[in-house]
Amino acid sequence: MKKVIIICTGNSVRSQMAEGFFKKYKSNWEIRSAGTNPQGLNPLSVKVMLEKGIDISGSKSKSINKFLGQKFDYIITVCDNAKENCPYFPGSAKYIHWSFSDPSSVSGSEEEKLNAFRKVRDEIEKKILEFINSK
C-alpha cells in the first residue's frame, strides 16, 4: 500500500479535491491532505466534487504540522506556495509538484465561480489519472 499526502496552502480546495480523487481511484492507498495555513473546506469544492459522485463534505482542513515526522511514499504539492513552504518529511519520499490555479480567487457570478472550480477539478482528476496509470 502506498502512502500519499497532498499539500496546498489552505487545504480547502485543490488538496481536498485531489484527496477525494485519489481515494476514489486508489482506495487501497492511504491518502491524506493538509495545508500550510488551513482555511476550512470551501463549499464550492464540495459542490463540484459531488457532480463527479465524490462526497468530500465530511472532510476537514488539517495543518501540515499534524503529519510532520510521518513517512510517505509521495508528497504532492498542488500550489506554488505549498511547494515553497513544504516541510521535510523523513524517509525516501518522492516529492512531486503540480501547479493548479486557485479557483477561490475567481470573482464573478456563482456560475463563473463554479466554472472555475470545475476547470481546476477536471485538471486535478486528469493529473491524478496520469499519475496512477504511470505506476
Catalytic hit among 64, 79, 120, 128: 79
**Residues 86, 75: contact at Cβ < 8 Å?**
yes
8 is catalytic: yes
**Residues 12, 100: contact at Cβ < 8 Å?**
no
Catalytic hit among 4, 6, 7, 8: 8
79 is catalytic: yes
Name the helix (H) or strand (E) containing 18.
helix 14-25
Catalytic hit among 23, 25, 30, 86: 86
CA distance 60 to 50: 16
Residue positions annotated with a catalytic role: 8, 79, 86
